[in-house]
Structure 1
Amino acid sequence: MGYQIAIDGPAGAGKSTIAKLVAKRKGFIYVDTGAMYRGLAIHFLNKGISPEDTEGIKKACEDAEITIGYEDGQQQIYLNGENVTGRLREETVGNMASQSSGIAEVRKKLLDLQRELARKENVVMDGRDIGTSVLPDANVKIFLTASVDTRARRRYNELLEKGEACDYEKIAEDIKERDRRDMTREQSPLRQAEDAYLVDSSDMTIDEVVDKIESVCQK
């Protein structure tokens, strides 16, 4: 059994950035479960399925195969053998992933792969329900969060740097809606595990957050 660090939290809290840095410092494998859900979301979008078409999403799971690989230490997501990593951050993909991830068939599709990785390797795994559902016996559990304003500003600046047109107010509303969906969904809702350490990164630098998580791992 590998050493497991589970990092949960809402959209835009910086989970992926922080988890990658923690994994690098400790020499662990980074597993971005959100990217796996986004990979499935691309499959649904490619088929022209709407986020509200629950039955269509369930059926589409049957002919989707999500695998992960690593190139130069970076996680890559493959959908039916095609590397789709470059599309994972598209807004439409994120919205589809947020809505479809609450469907039991979608979660079951990916759960075994996630647990198998954590069984064989030392991992830092981030998502919405890692400490509560995927790896309930993880060695260390972190609930990483930040204010809606902080998360919206981060996303706004990220899009501006990419040269994409964006509206701060819309981004903030989208984040609030994702929070609502994630926290109220029937399957594995977003919540802080009872034994998780709460880390609010609103007023912390990236290095401060990583240092804090590393200090928790040493306890």
Structure 2
Amino acid sequence: MDGHAGCGKSSTAKALANKLDYIYIDTGAMYRAVTLYLLQHNIPIDNQQEVEKELSNVHLSFAHNPSNGRKEIELNGMIVEEQIRTLNVSSKVSKVSSIPAVRHFLVEQQQAMGKQKGIVMDGRDIGTVVFPDAELKIFMTASAEVRAKRRQLEMEEKGQKVAFEDVLNDLVSRDKEDSSRAESPLKKADDAIEVDTSNCTFEEQLDKVYQLAIDAIQ
């Protein structure tokens, strides 16, 4: 499942995995965790050689969080789900994701996770690079304004007060960076099914992708 930032990919993919009794893998969280590590250790993200050298010190996994019962991203033994969702990380993650060494590092891990199948994975290049032969590819999108409003509400629910314009500008900037980068740009795979969630409730978009999944399985 690929698509633009803030269109509901992760929430939908997670809920879909639950309905299908599949494993959910949040690849966006993996890129965010690498970004968080670089920021925490003051590694200049414009220096690709420095970033590449640090990757051997980044160890990622998805661990059970006993406080909420969810599987969340773990960076070097620490669950960092809340830290990776800040606007600071969001504003840097597209640039980090465009670094070839970072993409190769994480794509290799993602492909290993998917070898046994029975997974739902979301990101930017899942259908085009990570799993070009996936049984079902979905490309999710929505208007920038709708996505910004959803992201703002999501952040406010976590206690992060941010202005709508700041969130909108961040999303528009990420769209441009994700779609124009040289390494694995965000684009719809030729055989992906597009789902526009601009005018959908969460339940409606989940129903749409669930039916697509059932049709693909059968």
TM-score by length of 1: 0.91
Query: Counterpart amino acid of 2:153?
Result: N
Secondary structure at 2:115 match in 1: helix
Query: Counterpart amino acid of 1:130?
Result: I
Query: Counterpart amino acid of 1:218?
Result: I
**Alignment CA distance shift 1:190-1:67 (3 Å):** same
CA–CA separation in structure 1 for the residues paired with 2:156 and 2:79: 26
TM-fit CA distance, 1:45: 0.8
* Structure 2 partner of 1:46: 40
**Alignment CA distance shift 1:71-1:82 (3 Å):** closer
Mapped pair 1:25 → 2:13: no
Of residues 124, 135, 141, the one that matches 1:139 is: 135
Mapped pair 1:60 → 2:54: yes
**Matched pairs, number:** 213
Secondary structure at 1:85 match in 2: coil
* Structure 1 partner of 2:158: 162
Indicate the RMSD between aligned Cα atoms, in angstroms: 1.6
Secondary structure at 1:218 match in 2: helix
* Structure 2 partner of 1:3: none
TM-score by length of 2: 0.92
Quick check: 96-105 or 67-76, which moved more? 67-76
Structure 1: gaps of 5 or more residues: 1-6
Quick check: 69-78 or 163-172, which moved more? 69-78
Q: Which whole-Å deviations, capped at 9, do the CAs of 1:132-164 have from their partners, x for residues lacking one?
A: 000111110000110000001111222333343
* Structure 1 partner of 2:78: 82
* Structure 2 partner of 1:193: 189
* Structure 1 partner of 2:8: 14
Secondary structure at 1:186 match in 2: coil
* Structure 2 partner of 1:96: 92
Q: Which whole-Å deviations, capped at 9, do the CAs of 1:64-122 have from their partners, x for residues lacking one?
A: 22222344762222222222223121111222222101111101111122111111241
Task: Tell me if the contact between 1:31 and 1:75 (Cα under 8 Å) persists in the aligned partners.
Answer: no
CA–CA separation in structure 1 for the residues paired with 2:158 and 2:27: 24
Percent same amino acid at aligned positions?
Answer: 39
